[in-house]
Every structure is written in C-alpha cells, then in structure tokens.
Amino acid sequence: MNEPISGPAFFIGKGDDTLISFGSGQPDMPPPIEAFNILKTYTRFKYGLIQGEESLRAALTPLYPQAAAEHFVITNGASEAIDLVLRVISKQGAKVLLPRPYYYSYPFNVLFAGMEPAYYDLDKDGKIDFPAFEKEVERCHAVLINSPSNPTGTVQEVETLKKIEALCERLGVWVISDEVYKDIIYVRENYLLQGPRVVTVNSFSKTYAMCGLRVGYVYSQNKELVDGIIEMKTHTAMNTSIVGQMMALAALSSPRSYVAHNLEMWKERRDLMYDGMLELGLELWKPEGAFYVLPKFKDSGRAVSDLYHNYQVITYDGTWFGAPNRIRFSYALDASKIQEGLRRLKEFLGKEHASY
C-alpha cells in the first residue's frame, strides 16, 4: 500500500541535473503558447458553473460524435474524474474490474469509493484476453478500460473493445474508459468506446502538456450520471479552477500542428527507447501509444533501488502497477537524456548480469 505513494510522490519534484528520470509520467515540452497568452490579460476570479465553463464544454463537442456541452463535466484532472464517477456509481462492496498491469491509482480509487477491485491479466502481448475478461465481468458492477495504457504502452484491439461494449451493455455493467492518451497513439486513430453505460474520462494534461494545471473531464451521454457527478462535485470541490479552464480552452484552439508535432517527437523517442532496450536484451512490448515501456526484470524492487542509488536513474517499480518483475520507464525526456539513461542502464546490466 505504501510503495505507490512513496514512489511517485517521492520522486516528483526532484530536479537534480545529474539524475536521469524515467519516472514521472508527464510531457516535458511546454503547453501551446496560446494557453499562456491568455494569462497576460486574465482577470476572472469568481465561481463558475460546477459543471465547467459552457465555452470549454462546447469546444469539446467536435471531438465526440453526437456530443453536446451538457454531456461534459470539467474536473480537476482525470484523477478527480475517475474518483467522482466511481463515487457516484458506487454500491458498497461491489466489484470493479481492472486490467493487470494497471495505472497505480486505480485500485485506490476503487477502494476509496467503497468498492472492491477485481483483476484479469493482460495476455502475453499486453492485450485484453477477452475470455479472461468475460469470465470476470459478470460479477462486476463496473470495468475500467485504459487504452492507450499507462503503464503497458499497448493499445487494445478495436474488435475487442467492441466486444466489451456489447457485453457490458447486455450485462448492465458500467464501462469507465480512461482515454487520457488518446492523442499519443502510434498505430491507428484512437477508438472511442461508446454505449449507454460508457463513461469517458479524459484530460488536457498529456495532449497539451499541462499536468500541473489539473484540467480533465468526464464525457457521458447518461444524463443521470452527469447530474450525479455535478451534484457530488458541488459539495466536494465546486468548479474546476477557472483560470485552468480558460487555459484549456485556449489550448484547444491552438493549431492542430502542436499535437501533430508532439506526436512525431513521441514516436522518435519511442523508437529510441524500444530499439535501445531490445539491443540491451530486455524483453518488452513495443509501445503503440502513451510514453511508457515496461520491460521485464528479475528483481524489479532491487533494480529500481540500485539504478537510483548507484546510477542516478529514476524508474518506477512495476509492482506499483500490478506488474512484479517489470519496471516502468517513461520516455518523457529528451533524446540526449534517453541515450544517457540507456548508457547507464547498459552499465548496470553488465555489472549485474549474474542477478538480472
């Protein structure tokens, strides 16, 4: 229970130049200049609508077929979005199905909402094993889908996602689809899960590199759910920071080349990272989206510790993500640092060959 906290929370904010950090899951480039430009003359400070600014919600509608502004709630990042959705749909002790490996907050989110996590393992390619999913889902109240995935870097097959839509609709199971990496995907366009029980969670953090500003959102066609989220947020947080929302709106209206350019850069880094790790003899999935690799390590806990203390390389133990014997490397850092990090990793692997 302590590791996921002491891990990421401990490493965030470290800025020592001799360190190479493959830890933090945040883009290193700045947000679109348009987002900062609005600050020069910014003067709003009053409460806004709990649901989020109408202008921002309206600006999101072109991204979702058949969407209207009323289908969105703007939240304090995807974290609050997931927390609110789970709390609103919560039934005491009900099961919520998670993939394993999972984003490290998911089990906590489920528990904090008074429910119980249930798990199925992704297959050897980091994909959803549909029979395994099908077997577990019947006894669940909700499922969490995360494609592209943090920490696996894999993207789920459209065919599988469609089967999940149909099955969950038939069973009356909620589908919470965390699509925060929808714009960082290398193999195809993102597939938006849809259906009467589907709730999409998204964020401006990854697409527009504004993690610290904490602007995310929930999208759902289910009016009762949206109303329930607004009601809860009225008492637990009120409106999401007005200035953050206005920066998000400005980011949305920035040229599409911002996103396209970043995607090119992510892809170059992905290649550097993946090819470099293959060359070192590591076993890992080729990232299809997001900006993580999750190679196998025999003793991941000791490797993370040694890499940090002896090589000044920050990585996250796969154990925190339900993936013991793996380590998560984020490649949200520039090419020269990736190369230096790989050089140190090679040194580490050479010395530690006997044990790894």
Which parts of 244-273 interact with a copy of itself (CB under 8 A)? 244, 247
Residue type for 328, please? R
Query: Of the two residues 14 and 135, which places its CB atom closer to a copy of itself in the complex?
Result: 14
**Is residue 330 a contact point for a copy of itself (CB under 8 A)?**
no
Query: Of the two residues 44 and 261, which places its CB atom closer to a copy of itself in the complex?
Result: 44
93 φ, ψ (degrees, to nearest 5): 80, 0
d(C-alpha 62, C-alpha 213), whole Å: 23
Q: According to CB under 8 A, which one of 21, 105, 262, 315 is a site residue for a copy of itself? A: 105
Of residues 25, 108, 56, the one with CA closest to residue 240 = 56
d(C-alpha 342, C-alpha 313), whole Å: 10
Interface region with a copy of itself, contact rule CB under 8 A, candidates 60-68, 103-111, 297-305, 343-351: 103-111
d(C-alpha 300, C-alpha 252), whole Å: 39
Interface region with a copy of itself, contact rule CB under 8 A, candidates 59-67, 184-192, 232-240, 269-277: 232-240
Interface with a copy of itself (CB under 8 A), residue total: 54
Interface region with a copy of itself, contact rule CB under 8 A, candidates 8-16, 166-174, 190-198, 253-261: 8-16
End-to-end alpha carbon distance in the chain: 26
* ω into 62 cis (within 30 of 0): no
d(C-alpha 313, C-alpha 293), whole Å: 15
Q: Least distance from C-beta 187 to a copy of itself, angstroms?
A: 28
Q: Which residue bears the tokens 């927390």?
A: 83
Query: Of the two residues 236 and 355, which places its CB atom closer to a copy of itself in the complex?
Result: 236
**Is residue 334 a contact point for a copy of itself (CB under 8 A)?**
no
3-state secondary structure of 151: coil
- Give me the DSSP letters along 130-146: HHHHHHHHTT-SEEEEE
Reported as type and span, the H/E element at residue 270 is helix 257-279
Interface region with a copy of itself, contact rule CB under 8 A, candidates 46-54, 252-260, 265-273, 308-316: 46-54
3-state secondary structure of 39: helix
**Is residue 46 a contact point for a copy of itself (CB under 8 A)?**
yes
Q: Least distance from C-beta 109 to a copy of itself, angstroms?
A: 6
**Is residue 5 a contact point for a copy of itself (CB under 8 A)?**
yes
Q: At what angle do helices 158-171 and 130-137 cross, to 10 degrees?
A: 10
Q: Least distance from C-beta 70 to a copy of itself, angstroms?
A: 14
Q: According to CB under 8 A, which one of 16, 47, 62, 309 is a site residue for a copy of itself? A: 47
What sign does the CA torsion over 49, 246, 11, 273 have? positive
Which parts of 191-210 interact with a copy of itself (CB under 8 A)? 209-210
**Is residue 141 a contact point for a copy of itself (CB under 8 A)?**
no
The bridge status of strand 316-317 relative to strand 327-330 is: antiparallel
Q: CA 153, 159, 160: angle at the middle one, nearest 5?
A: 60
Interface region with a copy of itself, contact rule CB under 8 A, candidates 48-56, 140-148, 154-162, 315-323: 48-56
**Is residue 325 a contact point for a copy of itself (CB under 8 A)?**
no
**Is residue 214 a contact point for a copy of itself (CB under 8 A)?**
yes
Give the interface with a copy of itself as residue ranges (CB under 8 A). 4-5, 8-9, 12-13, 24, 26, 30-31, 36, 39-40, 42-50, 76-77, 79-80, 83, 87, 105, 108-109, 112, 114, 209-214, 230-232, 234-244, 247
